[in-house]
Amino acid sequence: MAERERLICAAAALPDGGTGVRFDLDWHGERAPAFAIRFSGRVHAYLNRCAHVPIELDWMEGQFYDFSGLYLICSTHGAMYLPETGRCIGGPCRGATLTKLAVAEHGDSIYLIEDTPSHG
């Protein structure tokens, strides 16, 4: 498999502990919603799919953090996730994890790292 980078957003669009950016990707042959957030300076991205019931986390678009800015939260039933790993530390799916996606920050931009079938 080869890797390809796809632009998600400008680096400045992800404030630390603040609003996230939603995007779509191909996930096992289907279009799936995903999001990127920044925590302690680093960017992380996950499928936008709660580990409890497979629905999107943000009720208000881009609002993935709780009030403290320390945890990601599912707006439907309140599961709380660690931003660095996606591990659920409270709520109905404690111990489960969000599906993490590979991202990279270069200069002023954030990129999704996608696997692509290699040829030859």
SS3 state of residue 11:
helix
DSSP string, 62-90: T--B-TTSSSEE-TTT--EE-TTT-BEEE
Q: Which two tokens stand for residue 73?
A: 């939260």
* Contact with ligand FES (CB under 6 A) among 47, 91, 103, 110: 91
CB of 103 to ligand FES, least distance (A): 22
Distance, C-alpha 69 to centroid of its chain: 15
CB of 75 to ligand FES, least distance (A): 8
Q: Binding mask 38-77 vs ligand FES (x if CB under 6 A, - otherwise)?
A: ------------x-xx-x------------------x-xx
Q: Which residues bind ligand FES (CB under 6 A)?
A: 50, 52-53, 55, 74, 76-79, 91-92
